[in-house]
Structure 1
Amino acid sequence: MTDHRTAEAASVPGGASGTAGGDYLPIAEHGLIGDLRTAALVGTDGRINWFCAPRFDSPSIFGSLLDARDGGHWHLGPVGEVAKRQQYYFPDTNILMTRMLTGDGIVEIQDFMPLRAEGDQGHRQRLVRRVVAVRGSARMRTVVAPRMNYGRDPHKAESQPHGVRFTSEALDVSLQASVTLHTEDQDAVGEFDLAEGQSALFVLESTAPTHAEPAVDLVDAQAAEELFRSTVRFWRQWLSRSTYTGRWREMVHRSALTLKLLTHEPTGAIVAAPTLGLPEQVGGERNWDYRYVWIRDAAFSLHALLRLGFTREAEAFIGWLTRCLRGARDDGQVPLRVLYSIDGDAELPEQLLDHWEGYRGSAPVRVGNGAAGQLQLDIYGELFDAVYLFNKHGDGISHESWTDLCSLLDWLLEHWDGPDAGIWETRAGRQRHTYSRVMCWVAVERMIRMARQRGLPGDLGRWTAERDKIYHQIMEQGWSEKDQTFVQRLSGDPEQPPESILDASLLVLPMVKFLSPKDPRFRSTVRAIGEGLVTDSLVFRYDPKVSPDGLDGTEGTFSICSFWWVEALARTGRTDEARVALEKMFTYANHLGLYAEQIGMTGEHLGNFPQAFTHLALISAATGLDGFLG
């Protein structure tokens, strides 16, 4: 297991040739950079093998993460063997430093995307790479091999005085460099020598096809240095707003910086992850596109950011949400959709990129997400809880937002007692999920609280009656007297016991104030989940063999559930165990403190990376446990 600052990897060739499972770094061997509009993954081997522009959900320019042969990449590294590779973030920033140790010296690659400063008009999207010979000398090689539109669109490469311009029908990419580049088979290639203290600069800028303005004058190195310094200032000024001073400051702040990277600044949207298609099981079919806004994930993210004092991000997300709700009301799109595009579009048809082999042969590779059409009743509770917290700790919601929420609640009060796809978005048909019922209760309860606290109008008599009806149904039909645990699905009849299927989502019952953590029913549920779903602090969300989810194959442990486990232990008074579980979870982070969606049998990261869901749960678990430890 690596520590949080160093990763070692075997030498990986700079080219993109490979076969399924061949030329692919482990998912965890990557860092993330971004500009609050899109993001790129940079491997410990110096390759950028995932980059979509100009937005998170745009087609990829570099996609070798999902097809090493035909996906496209940008390699930068020493010629010859590399003895050791290390990555770290420049302190308190999202600037990624990759250091490579060779027989002749040490080189450092600095990767970042400049941010738009307050007061600037417009934003120029640039990906900057600066490589420095820290000690000794190095012969370096770079290969810039874009493959536009997920590798489906042809492009032309044209040499220019200070670089290469790649042109395609929908997008142009301008690459400027301080070293000489030439074109080979529509790629840009260059080799150059660096003596100790020398550096080389590269700036890639994606533009509309008619845009011809140069990215930056790289003849003057001071321009690139100022970009670096301004990026450092941006991230440090942003992080300085954090109110967290607890025991796990480094991990909490890295998670906060990661959540910020997943924010689309122009709209206030928060995406679930910057990637698509990374498998929950290598070689399996559980490969999804996460570059969208899940109401659930974004609501939890808002909660986590509010806990750290980042109210501006919460306010921006509420603004995005208000626009979505207005569109749903105007277009008759009720109920609230499970996920939206960055712009609030609810139509995200799932398509296959069948020309790509997938990460290590994990096909199919899907773009779009069919879950957008699912009914998931839990999202109302997560959404209303987030709005309640914003109303309590932020500036408060507007009259228009309250009206929209009341309309959503009216629909929910008519439909809560029905089956849905559940929090885990199973594809085995709708079921009567206990967690969904709990979150329906949360939705009604939070609306009652807000109405009473601010004197807002609402049918409190009806709301209270329905809230109590939901509560009694959960306690009567979601509880297994035989196994002394809450279970995944409600029984169809109050007189019939429910199936004894465990679900880790039920660890949140006291977190949403449905039950006291001292309640015997919750304590015994924690015991049952500990015995049935937990292994070395890692938690499975459920057992697909016991509860089929409509998909083939298996999956790893679900990292958000592992952090929920920490909170559940802490709330039930098992603080020593909670602290050990949290520290164990930290060992499963990658060398930069980042997490994918899941952890596999041997500790490998699985699923899309990095995942907002996991990082927000880390923040919640760490800050919560801090409070219990005092």
Structure 2
Amino acid sequence: MADGRGTAERADEGRVGPDGASYPRYLPIAEHGLIGDLRTAALVGTDGRINWFCAPRFDSPSVFGALLDADNGGCWQLGPVGDVAKHQQYYFPDTNILITRMLTDRGIVEVQDFMPVLAEGDRQHRQRLVRRVVSVRGSARMRTVIAPRMNYGRDEHRAEQQPHGVRFTGAELTLSLQASATLRVEGRDAVGEFDLAEGQSVLFVLESAETAGGDPSVDLVDAQAAEELFRSTVDFWRQWLSQCTYTGRWRERVHRSALTLKLLTHEPTGAIVAAPTLGLPEQLGGERNWDYRYVWIRDAAFSLHALLRLGFTHEAQAFIGWLTDCLRGAQDGDRGPLRVLYSIDGHADLPEHVLDHWEGYRGSAPVRVGNGAAGQLQLDIYGELFDSVYLFDKYGAGISHEAWTDLCAILDWLLEHWDTPDAGIWETRAGQQRHTYSRLMCWVAVERMIRIARRRGLPGDLGRWMSVRDAMYHQIMDRGWSEQEQTFVQRLSDEAGQPPESILDASLLVMPMVKFLSPDDPRFRSTVRAIGANLVTDSLVFRYDPKQSPDGLDGTEGTFSICSFWWVEALARTGRIEEARLALEKMFTYANHLGLYAEQIGTTGEHLGNFPQALTHLALISAATSLDGFMG
């Protein structure tokens, strides 16, 4: 950092904003809500600041990036002048429209943030970020500062006054800001002050200039048009959510997770990104800071599974279409025909580099763009993929002849390479190992192909497939089981009869979920007890112990939320229903005020890692629906 101060010292500092109010330099990760238009997304803080926004896509360079550099990232402030006694935030019911309320000594102000979603088939997508501020009670003096910092703060831009707003012109992106209040240009920013009497509102619309079209004075969104945008956005989300078939005990939690997964879907391609953010740390001040704005085959396959369980077959069909395009371009080799992750467009070349001009969230550098895991071999992705295809074929539209041919070709490669060391589900950077979970999911891949072939009468070398499947099974049972510790372990032993290292791994909780073992199997029950005794703390679950299993990175991390929901399901499947319900209810208390989850939960309950994370929300859906079934 430029001034040499330590992470904690800088993180605890406040800053005085242009309105004279005092702000923390960084809001907690959990103090944000998500809005989006199925192409990109923005994070809005409980204080009304937009601290993260990439345009025009999830993986585009940021326009507002104060989440990762409070001074140089850029943000959009909107709120009352002076101190605010209380901030409140909620979603307009059954939608992804975010409402932020600010209580002052003069009244109550409400900021409505949303991104309109156009109907499918519209050729011209007008990408708009809409902010409508309303005085609910009393009056308020308001101030807004729109300070974009394009291309992760690396590109200069100019701000120009327009008849009804300001235009920001950068090297690669031009944004048009229209407002029903007067704005003025100050340097490269736009600033506005205005008074609101009770019942009055002011509207701001930030739009890509390439899609705005026409004269801004003609295109200005007035109060009536704003209300129409609001209502059409409400209608879109409610109509979409009405397809959900879940009617169980935790309907509100499941619906919010489904709405979040939908927000992480890139509608034009059908891709599902792992998270809308990059660089949020798994440990404050640590180096575990990754870019998650891409499509992990694993995450997307799990998401497909969750959405199918809720009745959302259109999203499943769209993802299968995206996947088919990826399969068409698949190349064999040491890393296999599939890559761990892809861009939204299906490209696998995602070189990782560091934004060394940014300090990182609360000083947590380095801030990485791109992801080096794209070059890793992770054999488990084949199991997750084939399992999702199996479910889609069974409950969705069914797979085509072309898709079956592609899958058979991929399976042929896997049958030759399944016994290869890999990086594993947790993408460690400590070299390749023979991971038990990877073997488990290779077994799933072959077993699901056998099921599809038998049910549909499709061609395949079933004799060979069954022979290799059985070899995988025996390897896991013989070399992945520790007789001494009475548990399945993270890595296979080198030879049968040789004891493996006694390293626990929470990913093995899924064994009965993928139908490898019965939940009543004594070996699985013993594994659950071992994980409970060593990796679980008050329903929160660590994925493994880094001290036992060095992962090639410095520092530690929080508990992994997907593992915590797997724990709920494992308890339920082994008959510990009351414990499972208590663990699930406890996990709900770790959600933020909107029901959103980051990747990890820290020792004091703080959210860590990228936010919100698809894996966590799909695991919540799976745990809630499964537990409902067991409870009757």
Please report the TM-score for the alignment, with normalisation by the length of structure 1. 0.96
Q: Residues 32, 244 of structure 1: CA spacing in aligned structure 2 closer, same or farther, 3 A cutoff? A: same
Partner residue, 1:561: 563
2:272 & 2:66 partners in 1: Cα distance? 25
1:515 & 1:559 partners in 2: Cα distance? 23
SS of structure 1 residue aligned to 2:131: strand
Q: What letter is aligned with 1:222?
A: Q
Partner residue, 2:83: 81
Deviation at 1:172, TM superposition (A): 0.1
1:172 & 1:58 partners in 2: Cα distance? 13
Partner residue, 1:177: 179
Partner residue, 1:382: 384
Partner residue, 2:481: 479
2:31 & 2:65 partners in 1: Cα distance? 16
Q: Is the CA contact 2:568–2:581 (under 8 Å) kept in the aligned structure 1?
A: yes
Q: Which region of structure 1 is more displaced relative to structure 2, 219-228 or 343-352? A: 219-228
Deviation at 1:214, TM superposition (A): 3.5
Partner residue, 2:308: 306
Q: What letter is aligned with 1:574?
A: R
SS of structure 2 residue aligned to 1:106: strand
- Whether 1:30 and 2:32 are equivalent positions in the alignment is yes
SS of structure 2 residue aligned to 1:55: coil
1:216 & 1:151 partners in 2: Cα distance? 32
Partner residue, 1:504: 506
Q: Residues 324, 332 of structure 1: CA spacing in aligned structure 2 closer, same or farther, 3 A cutoff? A: farther
Partner residue, 1:404: 406
Partner residue, 1:235: 237
2:16 & 2:117 partners in 1: Cα distance? 32
2:522 & 2:339 partners in 1: Cα distance? 36
Partner residue, 2:602: 600
1:215 & 1:227 partners in 2: Cα distance? 18
Q: What letter is aligned with 1:39?
A: A
Report how many residues are paired.
620
Q: Which region of structure 1 is more displaced relative to structure 2, 219-228 or 257-266? A: 219-228
Please report the TM-score for the alignment, with normalisation by the length of structure 2. 0.96
Q: What letter is aligned with 1:457?
A: P
Q: What letter is aligned with 2:504?
A: L
Residues 105-184 of structure 1: pairs in structure 2 closer than 5 A? 105-184=107-186
Deviation at 1:185, TM superposition (A): 1.6
Deviation at 1:459, TM superposition (A): 0.4
Partner residue, 2:10: none
Partner residue, 1:533: 535
- Whether 1:441 and 2:446 are equivalent positions in the alignment is no
Q: Residues 147, 209 of structure 1: CA spacing in aligned structure 2 closer, same or farther, 3 A cutoff? A: farther
- Whether 1:270 and 2:294 are equivalent positions in the alignment is no
Q: Is the CA contact 2:19–2:143 (under 8 Å) kept in the aligned structure 1?
A: no
Q: What letter is aligned with 2:367?
A: V
Residues 207-606 of structure 1: pairs in structure 2 closer than 5 A? 207-208=209-210, 214=216, 217-218=219-220, 220-329=222-331, 334-606=336-608
SS of structure 2 residue aligned to 1:447: helix
Deviation at 1:174, TM superposition (A): 0.4
Q: CA RMSD in A?
A: 1.9
SS of structure 1 residue aligned to 2:426: coil
Q: What letter is aligned with 1:199?
A: S
Deviation at 1:306, TM superposition (A): 0.3
1:330 & 1:338 partners in 2: Cα distance? 13
Q: Is the CA contact 1:563–1:617 (under 8 Å) kept in the aligned structure 2?
A: yes
2:14 & 2:598 partners in 1: Cα distance? 23
The one of 613, 622, 625 equivalent to 1:623 is: 625
Q: Residues 379, 219 of structure 1: CA spacing in aligned structure 2 closer, same or farther, 3 A cutoff? A: closer
1:377 & 1:216 partners in 2: Cα distance? 55
Partner residue, 1:205: 207
Deviation at 1:169, TM superposition (A): 1.4
Q: Is the CA contact 1:16–1:23 (under 8 Å) kept in the aligned structure 2?
A: no
2:219 & 2:103 partners in 1: Cα distance? 30
Deviation at 1:30, TM superposition (A): 0.1
- The Cα offsets for residues 516-539 of structure 1, whole Å up to 9 and x where unpaired, read as 000000000000000000000000
Q: Is the CA contact 2:331–2:337 (under 8 Å) kept in the aligned structure 1?
A: no
Q: Is the CA contact 1:14–1:143 (under 8 Å) kept in the aligned structure 2?
A: no
- The Cα offsets for residues 152-207 of structure 1, whole Å up to 9 and x where unpaired, read as 01000001110000001110010000000001121000111000000000000023
Q: Is the CA contact 1:181–1:190 (under 8 Å) kept in the aligned structure 2?
A: yes
Deviation at 1:348, TM superposition (A): 0.2
2:492 & 2:450 partners in 1: Cα distance? 25
Q: Percent identity?
A: 83
Deviation at 1:126, TM superposition (A): 0.1
Q: Is the CA contact 2:66–2:75 (under 8 Å) kept in the aligned structure 1?
A: yes
Q: Is the CA contact 1:167–1:209 (under 8 Å) kept in the aligned structure 2?
A: no
Deviation at 1:288, TM superposition (A): 0.1
Deviation at 1:418, TM superposition (A): 1.3
Q: Is the CA contact 2:479–2:492 (under 8 Å) kept in the aligned structure 1?
A: yes
Q: What letter is aligned with 2:380?
A: D
SS of structure 2 residue aligned to 1:328: coil
Q: Residues 577, 333 of structure 1: CA spacing in aligned structure 2 closer, same or farther, 3 A cutoff? A: closer
1:96 & 1:343 partners in 2: Cα distance? 29
2:80 & 2:212 partners in 1: Cα distance? 35
Partner residue, 1:7: none
- The Cα offsets for residues 316-359 of structure 1, whole Å up to 9 and x where unpaired, read as 00000000000115999833100000000000000110000000
Deviation at 1:230, TM superposition (A): 0.2
- The Cα offsets for residues 366-423 of structure 1, whole Å up to 9 and x where unpaired, read as 0000000000000000000000000000010011111111111000000000110000
Q: Is the CA contact 1:14–1:76 (under 8 Å) kept in the aligned structure 2?
A: no
2:560 & 2:457 partners in 1: Cα distance? 40
Q: Residues 546, 98 of structure 1: CA spacing in aligned structure 2 closer, same or farther, 3 A cutoff? A: same
- The Cα offsets for residues 108-147 of structure 1, whole Å up to 9 and x where unpaired, read as 0000000011453321000000000000000000000000
SS of structure 2 residue aligned to 1:495: coil
Q: Residues 86, 12 of structure 1: CA spacing in aligned structure 2 closer, same or farther, 3 A cutoff? A: farther
Q: Is the CA contact 1:283–1:363 (under 8 Å) kept in the aligned structure 2?
A: yes
Deviation at 1:11, TM superposition (A): 9.6
2:17 & 2:369 partners in 1: Cα distance? 27
1:331 & 1:104 partners in 2: Cα distance? 67
1:365 & 1:270 partners in 2: Cα distance? 23
Q: Is the CA contact 1:297–1:613 (under 8 Å) kept in the aligned structure 2?
A: yes
